[in-house]
Chain A
Amino acid sequence: METFASSASSLSISSEPHVLAVDDNLVDRKLVEKLLKKSSCKVTTAEDGLRALEYLGLGAHHDSSTNSNGSKVNMIITDYCMPGMTGYELLKKIKESSIMKDVPVVIVSSENIPTRINQCMEEGAQIFMLKPLKHSDVERLRCQITQC
């Protein structure tokens, strides 16, 4: 299993980091949710990029007066291969937003494709990880975002 990290972000989280996990696969969503909960994270899952953006308050019908959860989210983990909006496209949208651009985005993929990895890292992904994720992978991620 290989990981590729960019510069660590300097966020200070008190108790439980809140992670938004995005994956179109039901089994993988359940698994990532459990992995994150096991690492003492609060978890919200989304089944695609559009719903993830809606949750973060970055949706198409974004209105600054509507409820946005963006400020509560400490990290986003997204699958790369998703129908409609890929994880890469989601990453770009997040990095383009003024409120969310400093939140670490982790890309996960079942395929180890260097051009894909570089593309994501260049766009500002925190780290690129291979699926399936293990407990030790998520523990390491949590340490990165909480600087433990």
Chain B
Amino acid sequence: MEIVGKLQNQFMEFMRSLYREGFLDDQFLQLQKLQDESNPDFVVEVVSLFFDDSEKLLNNLAMALQQQVVDFKQVDAHVHQFKGSSSSIGAQRVKNACVAFRNFCEEKNLEGCVQCLQHAKHEYFLVKNKLETLFRLEQQILAAGGTVPVLS
């Protein structure tokens, strides 16, 4: 099964790079451990929820920061949500971007907040792209008749 072997190696190498480059942290591994035969699409489902939730939050944040009078408490509430869900799925770089963002909210620093939003958005789309690639690789392995390797 040479093709399966190659795909599996590609998958493992890609996963390792995601951890190495800080896109994902241990929490993502925890999610993978929760997936089993009773719920074989668990990770994809949770991550999809994260994608939907995040895009709403990013839109809300953009709108909140465009108001004539910015409600920093509201902005902070959105960032808190974003930090929470990114932390829960192991999206480390997004989470870290949110931490910095919250500091600027506390200082009521509009320019800082606007920059943080850009940064958080950038990190979000990066990790989204990475995860979509990961899921595609999984599908390719399964389609080729193989099993998806689990990193420990």
Contacts and interface: CB of A to CB of B under 8 A. Distances in A.
Give the interface centre of A27, A28, A34, A131 by most chain B CB atoms within 10 Å.
A27
A31 B53 contact: no
B30 A110 contact: no
A28 B88 contact: yes
Interface string B33-67: 11010010010011001100100000000000000
A28 B53 CA distance: 11
Given A26-B49, A38-B34, A132-B30, A31 B88 contact: yes
B93 interface: no
Contacts of B36: 38
Contact of A25 (B27, B31, B42, B84): B84
B8 interface: no
Interface in A80-137: 81, 83, 110, 131-132, 134-135
Interface string B80-97: 110111011100000000
A136 B60 CA distance: 35
B77 interface: yes
Contacts of A131: 84, 87-88
Nearest to B50: A27
Contacts of B45: 30
A24 B53 CA distance: 12
A35 B42 CA distance: 11
A77 to B, nearest CB: 14
Interface residues of A, number: 17
Contacts of A27: 46, 49-50, 53, 84-85, 88-89
A30 B49 contact: yes
Contacts of B27: 132
A34 B34 contact: yes
A27 B83 CA distance: 11
A28 B34 contact: no
A134 B53 contact: no
B84 A28 contact: yes
A141 to B, nearest CB: 15
Interface of A: 24-28, 30-31, 34-35, 38, 81, 83, 110, 131-132, 134-135
Given A25-B53, A27-B46, A132-B30, 13 more contacts: A27-B85, A27-B88, A28-B85, A30-B49, A31-B31, A31-B46, A34-B39, A110-B83, A110-B87, A132-B27, A132-B88, A134-B30, A135-B33
